[in-house]
Amino acid sequence: MGFRPLADLALKLIHYYQTDLGGHSIARCPYAVSCSRYAVGQIERHGAIVGLAYFFDRFFYRENTAAIGLYGSALAPDGSLKLDDGAFWLDDR
């Protein structure tokens, strides 16, 4: 992938969150694919600036209660019901 300092920094920060911080907070991401995993996928595919823009768009869009009706639902491994935004992914996971 080459030298991508901003993307590498963003991915390291997300990895830190996933391994050291995320497990100590409540599970609040309503999507079947976690917000941090989505961010990693978009940064790897599009680079830091565009990838983070996709992440922020998704992150803040979920706060719109009218948007809930646009998603189907999926059963998460822990048995909780999550929003399935797989149709909106730009890559093939």
Domain boundaries, the chain: 5-88
Digit-coded pLDDT (tens) for 16-25: 988 888 777 6
Instruction: List CB contacts of 68: < 8 A, sequence separation 6 or more.
Output: 83
| Reported confidence tier of residue 80, pLDDT bands at 50, 70, 90 | confident
Distance CA 73, CA 65 (A): 15
pTM of the model: 0.69
Query: In sequence order, what are the beta bridge partners of 74?
Result: 82
Which helix or strand (DSSP H or E) is residue 42 part of? helix 35-46
Instruction: List CB contacts of 92: < 8 A, sequence separation 6 or more.
Output: none
